[in-house]
Amino acid sequence: MIKKVFEKPLSWFERIFFIDFIRGLSVTIRHAFSKTITTHYPYEKLTPPKRFRGFFGHKVVDGREPQPAFDEWVERFKIEVEPGRSRCVVCLLCKRACPVPQLFEIEGEKLPNGKRRVSVFNMNMLLCTFCGFCVDACPVDCLFQSDIHETASYSRKDSVLTLEVLERIGRDWQRRREKEPDRIWIDDAQRMRLWYENDLKLPEVKKQ
């Protein structure tokens, strides 16, 4: 049902003594003298939640690969598995899933012992839309998005993530946050303060 709601017109008393102005002014003055609630960005930083979709990384081989998918792909492509190096099996599924596939430059190489491994993996972040499709596509949980969001760089060249950078980000991530439970905000002291300040109390449910 659509209900029409009309604002009550101001009474003459309210008009003559500017009651509506005074109400607004009292709100702003109360805010003006209470504590500020902003984060002083370059000096104070919030850690984004674990699921944040920031810069990319390659998780490295550390014995926590999704099984049996990882072993199956390694088998199929005869991949050289080196602990501490990228898990990538050069399946190119990430490139296929991407809406801007040309931002990927992926190449594999054949080692003397007949096995293969990834040799080039460049991602041009200037073209990326951070949609995360590539991450969903990766069958061995290799490509992922980290919490790195300060992505400014001095030149266009710096915004290309190479295999080396991706592995470094991945190693760093696995050390810092892999084991963290999947919550929305981890250091949400700031955020909790906001919730509590607004006094969000649910109305009591009355029992019949």
Interacting residues with another protein (CB under 8 A): 21, 24-25, 27-29, 31-38, 40
Supply the minimum distance, in Å, between the C-beta of residue 19 and ligand SF4: 53
**Neighbour-count burial of 134, counting CB atoms closer than 10 A to its CB (0-12 exposed, 13-18 middle, 19+ buried):** buried
Tell me which of another protein, ligand SF4, none is bound by residue 102, counting a contact when its beta carbon lies within the kind-specific cut-off of 5 to 8 angstroms: none
Q: Is 142 in the site for ligand SF4 (CB under 6 A)?
A: yes
Q: Which two tokens stand for residue 156?
A: 């266009």
Measured CA to CA, the distance from residue 149 to residue 144 in angstroms comes to 14
- Parallel/antiparallel/unpaired status of strands 56-58 and 160-161: unpaired
Supply the minimum distance, in Å, between the C-beta of residue 65 and ligand SF4: 11
Tell me which of ligand SF4, another protein, none is bound by residue 138, counting a contact when its beta carbon lies within the kind-specific cut-off of 5 to 8 angstroms: ligand SF4
Number of H helices, E strands in the chain: 7, 5
Among residues 41 and 184, whose Cβ is nearest to another protein? 41
Query: In angstroms, how far is CA 115 from the centroid of its own chain?
Result: 35
Tell me which of another protein, ligand SF4, none is bound by residue 190, counting a contact when its beta carbon lies within the kind-specific cut-off of 5 to 8 angstroms: none
Residue 109 main-chain phi, psi, to 5 deg: -135, 155
Among residues 53 and 177, whose Cβ is nearest to ligand SF4? 53
For the chain, list the strands marked E by DSSP.
Answer: 56-58, 104-110, 116-124, 143-145, 160-161
Supply the minimum distance, in Å, between the C-beta of residue 38 and another protein: 5
Which residues sit at the interface with ligand SF4, rule CB under 6 A?
A: 88-94, 97-100, 103, 106, 128-134, 137-138, 140, 142-143
